[in-house]
A and B are shown apart, each in its own frame.
Chain A
Amino acid sequence: MVFRCAVHNMKLLTHNMLTSKCMKGVTVGYPLGIVAKDIKVSETEFNSEFVSRIIPKLDWNALWKAADSIGHSGDLPQQLMEDYENNEEFLKKVHHVLLEVEIINGELVCPESGRKFPISQGIPNMLLNEDEL
């Protein structure tokens, strides 16, 4: 039997990696602001190994700010605690924010230039115009 899964959209883990530094004149371009028109909260299987290994690769501050700006930070702590690997409750909160809050439509905003990158059907369009290169 083939089960069609819930539709895939942009996750906050991806947002944590994206920057507008590729634009001309932008020095840092991170983190990008989020304007979310349509958000979807789904349920995915919790994988504690994945979450605990991905945390050191994140910019924690940017993650919290992003989740908070779209109203989905829940009770995720603003500071990353020590010894999180064994704190399953904490890992589950991180899992939720990273993978279960998806942006279907909206915009990513460059913090320096204000340039908006549209997100539609869960896909952010980061292509630049000729004059922005």
Chain B
Amino acid sequence: MLRSIDHLYLIVSTGKDINLQEKDSALSSVEKLIEFPNWNKVIDIWRSVSKFKGKCFPSKEEYLEASLKETSLKQIVQDLWKEREVIEVTEKQHVDKESTVCGGHKFKDKRNELKQSIMRKIDRKSMYRNSDQRLEEDKVLKFRMTCYRSGNHCVTSQEVACSLGGKLQEKFNWIVDLVNHDLEVVTNIREDLVYLGISLTPDSLHRRNIINFGPTTLRATVCYNLLRLASPNPGDIILDPLCGGGSIPVEGAMALPGCYNMAGDIHPMAISRAFENIQNMRCERKGYIDLSHWDVTNLPLRNACVDIIVTDLPFGKRSGSKQNNQNLYQKAMLEIGRCIVPSGRAVCLTWDRANLTRTIRAYGSLWSIVRIATINLGGLQATAYVLKRGLESLDTILEKLQKRKRRK
């Protein structure tokens, strides 16, 4: 179950029916949430999870000393970074020349960009850590206050974060650091409900499997939930015929006990990404995975040989186009209908609902819709269709469709 969530928070206090329509009273009512009596207990729990060894409730003097130290550390890192940037710029010019010579692919650039930005963050953090020679016990807790807000209010999330963050800082003498913090305190405001929590997960858990990101990589948490929608059992063969970077089958192999995940794609770049992601899977996986290079519109698979299909159909926006989609969906849904066992479950994620529903209807009794779930993927409203393959053989179904056409 825990594989389906991105973040875990320990709730400190909640407030219901808080009036957030008047600025002054809004901020002071939210600030009251901090007057929670059991901070010691909460911080203890956080300490045991995060293994933080420094001072959680420092005195004013300890805070001031630590603040000065932070400023000087930041300066050291800044200087080190400037040196490194000079080297990077000359390297990048060299790489740019190379990629135009090889007919540089758009996907490759975006992938490298994202990889680089992640590497830069890691490098900066490690520079900071290496320059800090203090004992763990001498350090003072650094925190960040983040506010998430949805609904109509007279305050912005930044205003709340600033005001609450300031109050916490005064109360506990913690150091504010938005980037290199030890503790993240989160305020979540939904309409009238407000809660204050402590983050127990330093990084979103959704990036756990993939090291090689592509243009449309799905979060591992979304993949897990898609797989769950198909109700897999041990001994099931799960197919993803449009696997891209392999996010779904990799999550399947890691999380579902005793399932055989077959992945495949047509794009050579997708295959090399999937290959890398598979080779980097950790040892404690529960299932199996195999990768093939194929065309979903003409699958080299026997009839009725897989139990489950879970796939992320190309979205019109990021890969492929709406025109291509109609043709692709028609052929793909027919092929996977051929390869799946009668009554088998298929979970198809798509943004192009019209095309998919049209295709499903056009194939008569081949597919029936069991369930529809909407997912928000980075701003795009995507839909997961849980389909059940009909009982009849493909030939029978196609014959019936032909008869229907002839009658018309």
Contacts and interface: CB of A to CB of B under 8 A. Distances in A.
B300 A20 contact: yes
A30 B281 contact: no
Contact of A8 (B233, B237, B279, B302): B279
A21 B280 CA distance: 33
Contact of B237 (A3, A7, A57, A122): A57
A13 interface: yes
A121 B290 contact: no
Interface residues of B, number: 37
Contacts of B302: 17-19, 21, 30, 59
A127 interface: yes
A80 interface: no
Contacts of B283: 3-5
B328 to A, nearest CB: 15
Given A14-B262, A19-B302, A54-B235, A7 B295 contact: no
A17 B294 contact: no
Interface string B249-282: 0000000011110101010000100010011111
Contacts of A14: 262, 290, 292
Contact of A127 (B236, B260, B266, B290): B266
Given A5-B279, A14-B262, A125-B293, 13 more contacts: A3-B283, A17-B306, A19-B301, A20-B300, A21-B300, A22-B298, A22-B299, A50-B260, A54-B260, A57-B307, A123-B275, A124-B292, A126-B293
Interface of A: 2-5, 7-8, 10-11, 13-14, 17-22, 30, 44, 47, 49-50, 52-54, 57, 59, 99, 117, 121-128, 133
30 contacts: A2-B282, A3-B283, A4-B283, A8-B278, A8-B279, A10-B290, A10-B292, A13-B290, A14-B290, A17-B237, A19-B300, A20-B300, A21-B302, A22-B299, A30-B302, A47-B234, A49-B234, A50-B258, A54-B237, A57-B235, A57-B237, A57-B307, A99-B288, A117-B300, A121-B275, A122-B291, A123-B275, A123-B291, A123-B292, A127-B294
